[in-house]
Structure 1
Amino acid sequence: MPLLPGAEPFRHDGGEVGVLVCHGFTGSPQSVRPWAEHLAERGLTVSLPLLPGHGTRWQDMQVTVWQDWYAEVDRALRDLRERCSQVFVCGLSMGGALTLRLAAKHGADVSGIVLVNPANKVHGLAAKALPVVRHLLPTKSGIASDIAKPGCEEVGYDRVPLHAAHSFRRFLTMLDRELPQVTQPLLLLHSPEDHVVPPVDSARILARVSSRDVTERLLERSYHVATLDHDAELIFEETFAFISRLSAGVGAAPRG
């Protein structure tokens, strides 16, 4: 199945500091590619994978589960660790949730994490009905392109496949129990007005993680897909400053 325009994965070989960037549920690398490119332009080694079932058509996502999405970012992290002396992980929405699990499971192999409007729970009464409804209805209306900036659109599905949504809900429930295992320095940027993931999710994450080095920033002018919105440059600059503060190897040549 051909990829949607802009949904291609991105890779840049730079210095010995690596960054893994994770996109969101039903989205694609396009939604976070400017973020990845900003870091690549500053000499970092960057990996932005396409998650299984994404970037083509919603029917392809319907047959995937959270284990497939997590396995892809886990593989990308291990590849970066082989090449780089330090690795940071960044994620938007579900990408933020995947980032948190990588941090919980990989410990010191992850030097720091950056989260933008991270998901912690599938909200609403309909979420509780997912185990049954997914067998009756294949999809619901999509969540892509929650962006305040005029003329900006996210490359993602216009439908949410409910089998995949059910798996995502189970993943978030499991991840919530694992959040105390997250100890890395953390930069969290979130939008007070977000029509996909409410701010309460960010508050829950900050209350549950064990990180001591925590920075929180509000994205006052942006909605959910803030990496394509008015505050995108703020996200990019804050991310690079965060990585630079925690890494002596920014700009250094890669190992090997």
Structure 2
Amino acid sequence: MSFDPATHGHQFFPGSASVGVLVLHGFTSTTASVIEWARAIHRADDAAGHHPSVSVPLLPGHGTTWEELGKENWQAWRDAVDQEYWKLRARHEHVVVCGLSMGGALAVQLAARYTVAGLVLVNPALALTNRTAAYSHIAKHVIPSVAGIGSDINRPSEGETTYDRTPLAAVAQLNLLIRQAIKTLPAVTAPAMVFRSAVDRIVADASVDLIRERSAGPVEVIALPNSFHVATMDYDRGIVETASRQAVQNLMRGLDLTQVPGEAAASA
């Protein structure tokens, strides 16, 4: 499979607002699966009309070959996210971290270690529906790869660009990342907005339950009734994009992440 760097590589939208935003894609996918989400967030503005910078990194082992992904460890994904976080912190006072699926687990793990203004997560991967994935660290020695897991999308006209094979060595690393993210949840104090699809054949409902029950910060869950796992490309993408843009705009204007504009004045 050929990946065009212009479409699937690292994307960056510059801005000068007080908030910078990091948007993270999912496992075996590329930045193309979250790029419209990132563009929507970039349209947020503060009272002076300034927009946030939005960074959308291509995670190590992605956008190349499934064999290359199988050589990476979860620390490489974490370190790549850390690098982009500090670049944004150098330009902006606050950073919001957004993540789809594995990107959500990476966002949680980052928010537990550094100061984050908010989390915006779409079907974060803290529990997988495929229970046999837990044995990938053993199976990888016998079966190098299995069928790809991409394009869990309800909308027939949409397709996600992912690997057609999934390396079990990388699944084993994903499991290690998930364990780390769960373990660090009590250290997450940032407010979180979590989007959850009605049908998800990749990530289990327990993912959202873990965030709601173990995170130290406030959590709002928004249902996506007509979408599958890759909701950023599905029927409910408008809900995700609008609410995410409003959340970032709230923070840039000194409001709470999930506050409805005018709410504070109305209750005064």
The amino acid that maps onto 1:99 is A
Structure possessing the higher relative contact order (Cα contacts under 8 Å, 6 or more residues apart): 1
Partner of 2:47: none
Any residues of structure 2 matched to 1:211-230 within 5 Å, and which?
211-212=217-218, 214-230=219-235
* Aligned partner (choices 73, 76, 88) of residue 81 of structure 2: 73
1:70-119 CA distance string (max 9 Å, x none): 1111100000000011110100000000000110000xx31001000001
Closer, same or farther: CA 110–184 of 1 in aligned 2, 3 Å: same
**Alignment correspondent of 1:240:** 245
TM-score in terms of structure 1 length: 0.92
Aligned position for 1:209:
215
Q: Which residue of 2 aligns with 1:51?
A: 59
Q: State yes or no: 1:166 paired with 2:169.
A: no
Question: CA 1:152–1:175 in structure 2 vs 1: closer, same or farther (change >3 Å)?
Answer: same
1:117 and 2:123 are equivalent in the alignment: yes
Which residue is 2:38 aligned to?
36
CA shift at 1:129, angstroms?
A: 2.2
Q: Who is 1:8 aligned against? A: 9
Paired with 1:71 and 1:46, the residues of 2 have a C-alpha distance of 18
Counterparts of 1:127 and 1:13 in 2: how far apart (Å)? Answer: 38
Instruction: Give unmatched runs, 5+ long, in structure 1.
Output: 251-256
Runs of 4+ displaced beyond 3 Å? 1-5, 122-125
How big is the shift at 1:121? 2.5
Assess, with a 3 A threshold, how the Cα gap between structure 1 residues 249 and 56 changes in structure 2: closer, same or farther.
farther
Task: Report the TM-score when normalising by structure 2.
Answer: 0.88
For the residues of structure 1 that align with 2:105 and 2:21, how far apart are their CA atoms?
16
Name the residue aligned to 1:185. Answer: 191
Task: Indicate the residue corresponding to 1:231 in structure 2.
Answer: 236
- Secondary structure of the corresponding residue to residue 110 of structure 1: coil
In structure 2, relative to structure 1, the CA distance for the partners of 1:206 and 1:37 (3 Å cut) is: same
Amino acid of the residue matched to residue 172 of structure 2? H
- Superposition deviation, residue 2 in structure 1: 6.4
Q: Report the AA paired with residue 13 of structure 2.
A: H
Which residue does the alignment assign to 1:253? none
Q: Flag structure 2 segments of 5+ consecutive residues without an equivalent.
A: 45-50, 256-268
Partner SS state of residue 143, structure 1? coil
Amino acid at match of 2:214: R
1:191–1:199 CA contact under 8 A, matched in 2: no
* Distance in 1 separating the partners of 2:254 and 2:170: 39
Q: Give, in angstroms, the shift of residue 69 of structure 1.
A: 0.7
Deviations along 1:201-238, whole A, 9 cap, x unmatched? 111221111113x2110000000000000111110110
In structure 2, the residue matched to 1:102 is: 110
- Three-state SS of the structure 2 residue aligned to 1:72 is helix
The counterpart of 1:89, out of the listed 77, 87, 97, is 97
Q: Check whether the contact 1:4–1:155 (CA below 8 A) recurs between aligned residues.
A: no
Identical residues among aligned pairs (%): 38
Amino acid at match of 2:106: L
Aligned residues: 247
